[in-house]
Amino acid sequence: MANLNAQSRVLSGMRPTGRLHLGHYHGVLKNWVRLQQEHECFFFVADWHALTTQYDDTRGIAQSGWDMVIDWLACGVNPNMARLFIQSKVPEHAELHLLLSMITPLGWLERVPTYKDQQEQLREKDLATYGFLGYPLLQSADILVYKATAVPVGEDQVAHVEITREVARRFNHFYGVEPDFIERAEEAIKKMGKKNARVYRDLRRRYQEQGEHEALDVARALLDNQQNITLADRERLHGYLDGTGRNVLPEPQALLTPHAKMPGLDGRKMSKSYNNFIGLREDAESVRKKVRTMQTDPARVRRTDPGNPEKCPVWDFHKLYSGEADRDWVWKGCTTAGIGCIDCKMCMLEGMEKELGPIRERGHEFENDMDTVRSIVNEGCEAARSEARETLDEVRDAMGLTYR
């Protein structure tokens, strides 16, 4: 999986399919909040991706998109640190998708596991569409249009990052080598200054002649730290180093989201389709009701039966929301039948409310201040678009579509 460094550019998207729940919060959003502090981050509403399965009723998509952005903001995704935007507001995603479609073998798309899986899961819907087959390629365009190097995703999305890498490689293979590549690379080396140029040449020789992988790593770090060369030159020098030519589109890496154990109310994975979720901004009263009816250790039938927290989803919630003292109290009380499940749940609820209360409140504030939300997204779109435009200029250029 990915090695993050200071140069990493992180990108991820979510489909606007309805309100987010605690599974999204613990599984994805907390991770985003952490990543934004150390890396350049792009987070977007994948509304075109929602269309691939929801093409027959598109009315809820825009509202879900706004709700989702509010959920992100409420959780602490910070527009001063990350760019938040909407996919369809950056048409460059579509242009790159089209250009990449020219070089993408059908078999690659047909082989992506989600293609058949989803068709089987959503049988009632006709997913034998052009758009649905192209889902992973649109995702590739999302990633490559920003030259993202790290893509935080869940397990189910790793195959999509993998195909992105293959498509990027194929693109670079066809269009990456410029006729005067060597001359340009040599020019670029000089721009690094005498000392760095010498170090680079030495490392490159050690890698290419002696196969020293360590030298390759050092040289890559050297390039990433160069301040006075252009992005295009940096790419040339990376390509010159590993012998691949100029990598117009860098291969991204999947950043597997650390697995947060967030069971639903019934102990299965929290999911909208199981209807076992707690909404991220659900009101306190409704959360309380849901928690009261939550599944517990099935062996604990009567109050006097001791229980085993390891077999109880409430315990997993305690691990997320309760401090050590409360957890000790629960463990002892449960295993000795010293406390009842309702006591246990009320204790957990307190910790949970401490975390969710402020999120709910911030959500309300944003909901009542849509002007701010809209301007955050507008700015994010503009910033994203200017990055995307630059990539498309290079892509068109590499493909010979520059008309001067």
Give the phi and the psi of residue 246 in degrees, each rounded to 5: -80, 120
| 61 belongs to the binding site for ligand SF4 (CB under 6 A) | no
Q: To the nearest whole angstrom, how small is the minimum distance from the Cβ of residue 25 to ligand SF4?
A: 21
Distance from C-alpha of 28 to C-alpha of 46, rounded to nearest angstrom: 15
Per DSSP, what are the bridge partners of residue 44? 13, 85
**Interhelix angle 370-398/341-367, nearest 10 degrees:** 80
DSSP code, position 26 = I
Distance from C-alpha of 338 to C-alpha of 34, rounded to nearest angstrom: 39
Q: Closer CB to ligand SF4, residue 305 or residue 393? A: 305
Judged by CB under 6 A, how many residues of this single chain contact ligand SF4? 14
Partner whose binding site includes residue 250, from ligand TRP, ligand SF4, none (CB under 5 to 8 Å by kind) = none
| 157 belongs to the binding site for ligand TRP (CB under 6 A) | yes
| 322 belongs to the binding site for ligand SF4 (CB under 6 A) | no
| 309 belongs to the binding site for ligand SF4 (CB under 6 A) | yes
| 151 belongs to the binding site for ligand TRP (CB under 6 A) | yes
Q: Is residue 14 a known part of a binding site?
A: no
Q: Closer CB to ligand TRP, residue 28 or residue 223? A: 28
Per DSSP, what are the bridge partners of residue 14? 45
> What residues contact residue 133 under an 8 Å CB cut-off, 6+ apart?
106, 109, 110, 115
Query: Which candidate, 178, 167, 177, 106, places its Cα nearest to that of 142?
Result: 167
Q: What is the DSSP string of 265-279?
A: TTSSBP-GGGT---B
Q: Is residue 24 a known part of a binding site?
A: yes
Q: Is residue 16 a known part of a binding site?
A: yes
∠341-342-346 over CA atoms, to 5°?
120
| 341 belongs to the binding site for ligand SF4 (CB under 6 A) | yes
Taking CB under 6 A as the criterion, the residue among 47, 71, 92, 142 binding ligand TRP is: 142
Q: Residues annotated as binding site?
A: 15-17, 23-24, 142, 154-156, 269-273
**Binding residues for ligand SF4, per CB under 6 A?**
296-297, 300, 307, 309, 312, 314-315, 330, 334, 339, 341, 344-345
Q: Residues annotated as binding site for L-tryptophan?
A: 142
**Binding residues for ligand TRP, per CB under 6 A?**
11-15, 46, 49, 139, 142-143, 151, 153, 157
Q: Residues annotated as binding site for ATP?
A: 15-17, 23-24, 154-156, 269-273
